Structure 1
Amino acid sequence: MNLANKVAVVTGGGRGIGRGITEKLLAAGARVLVAQRQPLDECLKGNANLAWVEADLSRKEAPGEIAQAAQEVFGGADILVNNAGFMFEQSLDDMCEEDWDRMMVVNMRAPVFLAKALLPQMRRRGGGSIVNIGSIEGIGANPWHAAYCGSKAGVHGFTRALAVDLGRDGIRCNAIAPGWINSDLSNAYIDAQANPARARQDLLALHPVGRTGEPEDIGDAVVFLCADGAAFITGQIIVIDGGRTAKLPLPF
């Protein structure tokens, strides 16, 4: 799929799932602006089609700053990938309003208002594609994830709403709901279990395809959704989880 002459903004695009998305967009010919707090590592630096803007998505000013950088560096954006987000585990008994608000600011407010900030550029360039990274936890839930699940269900909801509102401008909006994707953080979570080898074995058993996901799996889907071949796809939540949520659990 060819994304030549397209400019993409990817939040959190330097590591984890975001890194896989960035690399796949670059391979498809797009120019990419990574918006995150940390500078790009040495492996990403030096690519003429890649730039970085420092951004703290908890700040109200961040969307405007990212949009300004996209305009100044690449002349505007055609693609927005709202990937950045975070998670914490906390029971409702222990959660306070500040914890909840912090989750919603980064996982929900920032993506919406970054889309708003980039709308003038996308309209001027003839349309665009927004891809929001949700989660299978916007569909189901793990223990102590009330805030995270709420935020990702919200991502799925505003994805559909933006698709309805922006279709007239030639701007499509879809979401990807990843399942278990391998990363430093997910590997550390497995290693922290009492029996890491058994935990990994049990995790693999949840996946009909026999493996867990890689960041590149999500990157491939993002490229597809941003390319001309997906021109009639908007307002969709695409689950990419190796069949995990399709598999009914058995007690044996």
Structure 2
Amino acid sequence: MIKNGFPEGAALIFGGNGGIGQGVALEFARTGVPVAVAYRSKADIANRIATQIRELGIKSSTHQVDVTDTAQVQATLDAAIETHGRVHTIVWAAGPFVNQRHISEMSHEDWRRAIDIEVMGFFNAAKAALPHLRAAGGGSFVALGSAGHLRWPDRDGLSVAPKAANESLLKGIAREEGRYNIRANSVLVGVIEAGMFPQLLEQGQFDQKWIDETMQMLALKRWGKPEDIGRAAVFLASENAAYITGQQLNVSGGFGI
């Protein structure tokens, strides 16, 4: 039975306790969708988000997981299914803290960590979820990508390049799994007043010149908010987007147009 654009079951959000992931989790809950919050660290934040969701009258659960560990990813999916009966949506919002470095300044360790968490982690989640989604009659993947896929942002390669690999994998999932009513799309994330951006500002990794230049490239003269990303993710996962797959929804305030 479809209710509020979703079947019975939950959205499993990897990185659901992150600055942007929190906003995504809450928007699913506001739509009436139960949420399984998967997190690596900062259990207090994950529990706070789960509590906020329950206060909305929506079921929620938390699951600690290292996404680079395939057994832990499978265990997280199994636990979410046991709790909620079904997982119909996988949201990929996980990722490491990324320092702003030119490609020439990246270390091998920086690159390996970014690939392990962003790319291997997403593959692990997709690999675990596909059999369940097939057996349940379909479902949806929504990954948070980067507006940098459309215009390269200097020094943000440790985020943009791994996410670009996921964009390609999403298209493959969309193509190969559509016959099972499984869809896969992404939200291209612009500058959002949450997550890493405030931390990078505080550390001085973005100076006033960067802020001024970036704001000039925005058609909408404000930074984005987590709920902007959350609403886009909910739309792509819902029946309102039932004939949309393999696509990117750019939520960046018109960055670069």
- Aligned pair partner of 1:29 in 27, 32, 47: 32
Distance 1:96 1:191, change over 3 A: closer
Q: Work out the CA distance in 2 between the residues paired with 1:9 and 1:185.
A: 22
Alignment-derived partner of residue 186 in structure 1: 197
Contact kept, 8 Å, 1:139 with 1:153, in 2: the verdict is: no
Ranges in structure 1 where 5+ consecutive residues have no aligned partner: 247-252
Alignment partner of 1:14 is 2:24: no
Q: Mean Cα displacement is larger for which, 159-168 or 113-122?
A: 113-122
Aligned to 2:99, the other structure's residue is in SS state coil
- Aligned pair partner of 1:71 in 73, 76, 81: 81
Contact kept, 8 Å, 2:27 with 2:234, in 1: the verdict is: yes
Q: Which runs of structure 1 show a deviation greater than 6 angstroms over 4 or more consecutive aligned residues?
A: 194-198
Alignment-derived partner of residue 249 in structure 1: none
Contact kept, 8 Å, 1:190 with 1:196, in 2: the verdict is: yes
Per-residue deviation, 1:195: 9.5
Q: Work out the CA distance in 1 between the residues paired with 2:236 and 2:111.
A: 31
- Aligned pair partner of 1:137 in 148, 164, 176: 148
Q: Work out the CA distance in 1 between the residues paired with 2:111 and 2:129.
A: 27
Q: Work out the CA distance in 1 between the residues paired with 2:206 and 2:197.
A: 15
Contact kept, 8 Å, 2:47 with 2:62, in 1: the verdict is: no
Contact kept, 8 Å, 2:67 with 2:125, in 1: the verdict is: no
Ranges in structure 2 where 5+ consecutive residues have no aligned partner: none
Aligned to 1:81, the other structure's residue is in SS state strand
Contact kept, 8 Å, 2:9 with 2:85, in 1: the verdict is: no
Letter in 2 for 1:64: Q
Q: Work out the CA distance in 2 between the residues paired with 1:3 and 1:52.
A: 21
Q: Mean Cα displacement is larger for which, 130-139 or 201-210?
A: 201-210
RMSD: 2.3
Alignment partner of 1:45 is 2:20: no
Aligned to 1:216, the other structure's residue is in SS state helix
Contact kept, 8 Å, 2:90 with 2:140, in 1: the verdict is: yes
Letter in 1 for 2:13: V
Per-residue deviation, 1:191: 4.0
Q: How many residues align?
A: 246
Contact kept, 8 Å, 1:91 with 1:145, in 2: the verdict is: yes
Give the structure-1-normalised TM-score.
0.88
- Aligned pair partner of 1:170 in 181, 191, 205: 181
Alignment partner of 1:208 is 2:214: no
Per-residue deviation, 1:107: 0.5
Q: Work out the CA distance in 1 between the residues paired with 2:179 and 2:227.
A: 31
Per-residue deviation, 1:208: 1.1
More helix by share: 2
Distance 1:7 1:59, change over 3 A: same
Letter in 1 for 2:48: E
Q: Deviations over 1:95-126 (max 9, x none)?
A: 44333221111111111221111122212221
Letter in 2 for 1:245: G
Letter in 1 for 2:222: R
Q: Work out the CA distance in 2 between the residues paired with 1:192 and 1:98.
A: 21
Q: Work out the CA distance in 1 between the residues paired with 2:49 and 2:217.
A: 34
Identity among equivalent positions (%) equals 27
Per-residue deviation, 1:155: 1.5
Q: Work out the CA distance in 2 between the residues paired with 1:54 and 1:195.
A: 32
Contact kept, 8 Å, 1:10 with 1:83, in 2: the verdict is: yes
Q: Mean Cα displacement is larger for which, 81-90 or 211-220?
A: 81-90
Distance 1:245 1:130, change over 3 A: same
